[in-house]
Structure 1
Amino acid sequence: MKDHSVKLTILNMLSQGGFHSGQDLGEQLGMSRAAIGKHIKGIQEWGVDVYSVQGKGYQLSKPMQLLDEALLKSKVDTPLELIPIIDSTNQYLLDRVDQLESGSVCIAEYQAKGRGRRGREWVSPFGSNLYLSIYWRLDAGMAAAMGLSLVVGVAIVEALEKQGIDGVKLKWPNDLYFQDKKLAGILVEMSGQAGAAANLVIGMGINLNMVADNQDDQGVTSNITQPWVSLSEVCNALPNQPPIDRNELAATLVNTLHSTLNDYEMRGMTGFVERWNRLDNFLDRKVKLIMSSREIEGIARGINEQGAVLLETEQGVESFIGGEISLRNNEASQ
């Protein structure tokens, strides 16, 4: 694994605020100003906005709170590893399922190859969001994993509510929304054989302080194909809501996920249908369900205990699950 310690040290210095001259940084790290400049360029390639002013030095365009592995470990009761720069937190755990304890967590500051559903890229700039994956061994097997992304969505929203953040909703089957804009996504990947335990890796990416680069009037950017929102904007929209502490949020997410997955393993979907429907962003709204080449229009009526989405159509209430399914709000065209 490539050594990024110098860049991370520079970022830690810059995160303290103010200007830092190339000469001062070089003296503290034992290298030339030119070498510092090359490291700054590499940091910028991670998506960090660092600007320079002649005679003053380098400064972050906005404050940045870095994750603290020791602090995180003190707040959770499960194995946790912070790898600041990684290809993918999900892939890291998938490659090590035979060595991991169930409940093990990997967190990163930056993903070079972050991915979402159907192999889509997950845009992952350094320090702007929260990238977290958890490994879970499900002894009941792969069939028992049905609806797991719904359960994880419930856990994330409930963790946010513990932080005082209300109004976040769920979009079937694996996204979090705030005021009809995407806040977070969930990716569940599994391996195993029929009749044996399932190895599950559950990843999530939550927008915390995403920069609106080339964003149009609908909130779509050039490299993200749907409207999105950051948790910082959510907090600004809520009365008396303080800024999010990234370490506190990460620890709350890990602990809530751990207890929720334990609950799911013991009880299955029992109880989760009501918890999910309470948070359904599209409940009782006109929607369009796209399943491969099929398009079904109806009114969303939540989910059932199999994790299927329920639509009220001309044929009555029908359930849909599996395949290439996505749910789109089409109220604007009604």
Structure 2
Amino acid sequence: MKPQQHTVKLSLLRALSKGGFHSGEELGDELGISRAAVSKHIKGIQGWGVDIFRVQGKGYQLANPLQLLDESVLNSSVATPFALIPVIESTNQYILDNARELDSGFVCIAEYQSKGRGRRGREWISPFGSNLYLSMFWQLEAGMAAAMGLSLVVGIAIAEAIEKLGIEGIKLKWPNDLYHNDKKLAGILVEMSGQAGGAANLVIGIGMNLSMDENVDGITQPWTSLNQITQIPVDRNKLAIEIIKTLVSTLEDYESFGMNQFVERWNRLDNYLGRKVKLLMGAKEIEGIAQGINEQGAILLSTPQGMQSFIGGEISLRNNE
């Protein structure tokens, strides 16, 4: 599960995550490699988006504290099967590639994604150790038709998990983003497969900003991170554990009761409830006042033509709000 070519880099990161300066000689002796090899691996780690600086006579130090995910901590608190794979192309792709061998509820967690993706093929920027990258495999026995609105249910689960950690003000943007003060905190990507009359195989991907540097290239929209919201570092292991537990129980509720019990829970967290928005559907724009969702998971807009529901598109605030 842990590719051998990354073993040295991960060992270096574990040493550096303890804090303070570490000389190249010290790190090399600890790992049984030369100082030149240490330098080479440090450059590779920097390519993962980790900021490490070197001071002559002192050695290497992380620019910012780094808390690594701990397999033993996760294992002691999570009942569902999981794989912690520090360096991966995509947690969603890993599950898609291995779905036939996985049990429903299986989770893949990573520290870094080299090919993370969001909706509609967009890239999801995934620097090492800065965020939370997590995907869950779920078999929905009721089939693909019953998966309508699933990304909304996942959003509710994540927001409620964060609330359980005492963090307030997390909101939902229809259909698949988490926001705080109108800035994006996390995104959800649900990919599904299956055949008519059979169970739906769902891959539920979650990417959440925890401590990502504001100067990361490739992100254009306003965004925030959990550590900016709390002003103190969030325990990444506790966060992952709470999200996994809440997601499992929420998906079980969804299988038992459908969308009915989630409408009120969504509307409580809706970032745009009662606000003027634009719904973008291809080249078409529809303006109205957001009125939450209905029991099919469709967004409700109060428009000059009356109350209308939509199941596709993306919403944004009207420019003149």
TM-score range relative to shorter protein? over 0.9
Q: TM-score, normalised by structure 2?
A: 0.98
The 5 A counterparts of 1:52-201 are 52-201=54-203
Displacement of 1:293 after TM fit? 1.1
Q: What is the CA–CA distance in structure 2 between the aligned matches of 1:120 and 1:114, rounded to whole Å?
A: 9
1 CA distance for matches of 2:285 and 2:154? 27
Instruction: Give the aligned partner of residue 328 of structure 1.
Output: 316
Aligned to 1:234, which of 226, 229, 237?
Answer: 229
Query: What CA deviation, in whole Å up to 9, does each residue of 1:99-128 have, x standing for no partner?
Result: 111000000000000000000000000000
Structure-2 separation of matches of 1:200 and 1:160: 23
- The yes-or-no answer on 1:300 pairing with 2:290 is yes
CA displacement, residues 71-108 of structure 1 (integer Å, 9 cap, x when unaligned)? 10110110011000000000000111111110000000
The amino acid that maps onto 2:83 is E
For the residues of structure 1 that align with 2:182 and 2:320, how far apart are their CA atoms?
Answer: 15
One-letter amino acid matched to 2:168: D
Question: 2-side partners of 1:124 and 1:29: how far apart?
Answer: 27
Question: How far apart, in 2, do the equivalents of 1:170 and 1:100 lie?
Answer: 30
Instruction: Give 1:216's aligned residue.
Output: none
Gaps of 5+ in 2: none
Whole-angstrom distance in 2 between the partners of 1:316 and 1:102: 42
2:257 aligned partner, one-letter code? R
Match of 2:24 in 1: 22
SS at match of 1:3: helix
Deviation at 1:262, TM superposition (A): 0.4
SS of residue in 1 equivalent to 2:253: helix
Distance 1:294 1:195 in 2: 34
- DSSP-derived class of the 2:68 partner: coil
Runs of 4+ in 1 over 2 A off after TM superposition: none
Match 1:279 to one of 265, 269, 287: 269
Which whole-Å CA distance do the structure 2 matches of 1:170 and 1:179 have between them?
A: 11
Equivalent residue, structure 2, for 1:8: 10
Runs of 5+ consecutive residues of structure 1 not aligned to the other structure: 214-220, 237-241
Deviation of the 1:243 alpha carbon: 3.0
Give 2:301's aligned residue. Answer: 311
Deviation string 1:238-291 (CA, Å, 9 cap, x unpaired) is xxxx53111011000000000000000111101100000000000000000000
CA distance in 1, matches of 2:254, 2:125: 30
CA distance in 1, matches of 2:220, 2:59: 36
How many Å separate the matches in 1 of 2:153 and 2:31? 46
Quote how far apart the aligned CAs of 1:31 are.
Answer: 1.0
- 1:140-198: per-residue Cα shift (whole Å, max 9, x none)? 00000000000000000000000001100000000000000000000000011111100
Percent identity of paired positions between Structure 1 and Structure 2: 67
Q: Distance in 1 between matches of 2:5 and 2:256?
A: 42
Q: CA RMSD in A?
A: 0.9
Check if 1:251 corresponds to 2:246.
no
- d(CA) in 2 for partners of 1:69 and 1:317? 49
CA distance in 2, matches of 1:47, 1:95: 26
Deviation at residue 14 of structure 1 after TM alignment: 0.2
Residue 70 of structure 1, CA deviation: 1.3
Question: What is the distance in 2 between the residues matched to 1:183 and 1:63?
Answer: 20
For 1:191 and 1:158, how far apart are their aligned partners in 2?
Answer: 27
Give 1:222 shift.
4.4
> 1:171 corresponds to which letter in structure 2?
K
Q: TM-score, normalised by structure 1?
A: 0.94
- 2:29 alignment partner AA: E
CA distance in 2, matches of 1:55, 1:258: 50
Distance 1:164 1:243 in 2: 13
